[in-house]
Structure 1
Amino acid sequence: MPLDQSPQSHQSSQIRINKRNEQKNQASPLIEKLPAAECIITDPAVVVQVMHTKKQLILQEIFHEALTIQELRKRTGLNPGTIKRHLDDLILHQLVFVEREERNTYNILMKFYRTTAEKFIINFQLPDDFQHKRKGR
Structure 2
Amino acid sequence: MTMEHTDAVLGLDDVWVVQPRNDRNDVEQIPIFLTQFTMDSIARRFPYLVEQRPEDGDEDAQAAKIDWKIVQDDVEKPFVASALEFVPLPVMHGEGYICLGFLFGRRARVAYLSDVSRFLPKTKHGKKLILVHNSLFR
> Which has more strand, going by share of residues?
2
Higher relative contact order, structure no. (Cα contacts within 8 Å, ≥ 6 residues apart): 1
